[in-house]
Chain A
Amino acid sequence: MEGDIAEMGKFIGVGLTAIGMGGAAIGVGNIAGNFLSGALRNPSAAAGQTAMLFIGIAFAEALGIFSFLVALLLMFAV
Chain B
Amino acid sequence: MAETTATGAGMPQLDVSTFSNQIFWLIVTLVALYFIMSRVALPRIAAVLADRRGTITSDIAAAEEYKLKAREAEEAYTKALAEARAEANRIVEAARAEMQAELDVQLQKADAEISAKAAESERRIREIRDSALEMVSDVSNDITADILGVFDAKADKASVVAAVSERMKGGA
A interface with B by C-beta (< 8 Å): 72-73, 76-78
B interface with A by C-beta (< 8 Å): 1, 4-5, 9-11, 14
Number of A-B contacts (CB under 8 A): 14
- The B contact surface, by secondary structure, is loop
By a CB distance below 8 angstroms, the chain B residues around A73 are 11, 14
By a CB distance below 8 angstroms, the chain B residues around A76 are 4, 9-11
User: Could you tell me the distance between the alpha carbons of A72 and B11 in the complex, rounded to whole angstroms?
Assistant: 8
User: Could you tell me the distance between the alpha carbons of A76 and B10 in the complex, rounded to whole angstroms?
Assistant: 4
Q: Can you pick out 14 interface pairs between chain A and chain B where the beta carbons lie within 8 Å of each other? A: A72-B11, A73-B11, A73-B14, A76-B4, A76-B9, A76-B10, A76-B11, A77-B1, A77-B4, A77-B5, A77-B10, A77-B11, A77-B14, A78-B1
Chain A residue with minimal CB distance to B15?
Answer: A77
By a CB distance below 8 angstroms, the chain A residues around B4 are 76-77
A45 CB to nearest B CB, Å: 28
By a CB distance below 8 angstroms, the chain A residues around B14 are 73, 77
